[in-house]
């Protein structure tokens, strides 16, 4: 059975995940690699509860309950989208994955060990890229967007710290998110190219 390759793009709100995930899929396809874009939270019922929670000021569920829902939504994502695509040998680019839960829900619940534990059920990504951007710059990029719960400066500073911790302990690869879209795209492509060559998914030309 051919097995594909799972790439997660991560970062604080406004870091450029969606922009870069789409540019990466475009680049992969233009190099003859079958690639798919997908994102979390998903469109499932569980994903919709999560999205509603993030938009609302008044919280209906505890942060622990939301942490469990993020994980449940991820299991749905894995079963319905990620695994089938990987089994077809595709490269899956997911806009947020398990390290989002570890970074954000560690901050919202203060229970790092427990968050790591519940998320250990998800298969590890082959490559998890942190698009790192100073909080001020990220907020500036999304300031026209309606603010939701997770977009506060102090909060995002803590989340960024959690992500950087994951880089330090070797679970994530850091990419500088500053600069224009194509500059950041080139940095990401360099990291991905190196990995895919090693796996013979892409060939030197
Ligand atoms: N390199 C860049 N320079 C300037 N603006 C950018 C850059 N990359 C993305 N943007 C713009 O910044 C905003 C945020 O980018 P994007 O939506 O890709 O971030 P995100 O990480 O997916 O955010 P969220 O976590 O809220 O989904 C968008 O309006 C996007 O067009
Ligand atoms: Mg996005």
The pLDDT of residue 149: 57
The CA 39 to ligand 2 mean position distance, Å, reads 8
Query: Average model confidence (pLDDT) for the chain?
Result: 94
The CA 18 to ligand 1 mean position distance, Å, reads 7
119 belongs to a structural domain? yes
27-34 long-range Cβ contacts below 8 angstroms, 24+ apart: 27/185, 27/189, 28/91, 28/93, 28/192, 31/202, 32/202, 33/91, 33/196, 33/201, 33/202, 34/4, 34/88, 34/89, 34/90, 34/91
**Which residue range forms the structural domain that includes residue 39?**
5-198
Q: In this predicted model, what pLDDT tens digit does every residue of 135-183 receive, in sequence order?
A: 999 999 998 776 665 668 999 999 999 999 999 999 999 999 999 999 9
The pLDDT of residue 1: 47
56 belongs to a structural domain? yes
The pLDDT of residue 204: 66
Provide, for the chain, the percentages of residues in helix, strand and coil under a 3-state DSSP scheme, each rounded to the nearest 5.
55, 15, 30
Number of domains in the chain: 1
126 belongs to a structural domain? yes
203 belongs to a structural domain? no
Q: In this predicted model, what pLDDT tens digit does every residue of 80-118 receive, in sequence order?
A: 999 999 999 999 999 999 999 999 999 999 999 999 999
Predicted TM-score of the model (pTM): 0.95
Ligand 1, pocket residues at CB < 6 Å:
11, 13-19, 141-142, 180-181, 184
The percent of residues above 70 in pLDDT, for the chain, comes to 95
Indicate which residue's Cα is closest to atom 7 of ligand 1: 181
Indicate which residue's Cα is closest to atom 23 of ligand 1: 14
138 belongs to a structural domain? yes
205 belongs to a structural domain? no
Of residues 59 and 114, the one with the higher pLDDT is 114
Token pair belonging to 165 = 């911790």
CATH number at residue 82: 3.40.50.300
Q: Which helix (H) or strand (E) holds 27?
A: helix 17-30
């Amino acid at each position: 059975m051919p097995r594909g390759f799972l790439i997660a793009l991560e970062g604080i709100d406004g870091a450029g995940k969606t922009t870069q995930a789409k540019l990466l899929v475009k680049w992969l396809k233009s190099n003859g690699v079958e690639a798919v874009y997908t994102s979390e939270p998903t469109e499932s019922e569980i994903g919709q509860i999560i999205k509603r929670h993030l938009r609302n000021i008044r919280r209906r569920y505890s942060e622990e309950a939301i942490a469990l829902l993020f994980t449940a939504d991820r299991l749905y994502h894995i079963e319905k989208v990620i695994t089938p695509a990987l089994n077809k040998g595709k490269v899956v680019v997911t806009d947020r994955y398990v390290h989002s839960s570890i970074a954000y829900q560690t901050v919202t619940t203060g229970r790092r060990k427990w968050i790591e534990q519940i998320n250990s059920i998800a298969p590890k990504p082959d490559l998890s890229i942190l698009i790192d951007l100073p909080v001020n710059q990220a907020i500036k990029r999304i300031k026209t967007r309606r603010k939701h719960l997770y977009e506060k400066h102090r909060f995002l500073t803590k989340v960024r710290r959690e992500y950087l911790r994951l880089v330090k302990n070797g679970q994530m690869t850091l990419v500088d998110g500053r600069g224009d879209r194509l500059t950041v795209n080139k940095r990401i492509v360099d990291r991905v190219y190196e990995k895919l060559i090693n796996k013979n998914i892409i060939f030197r030309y």
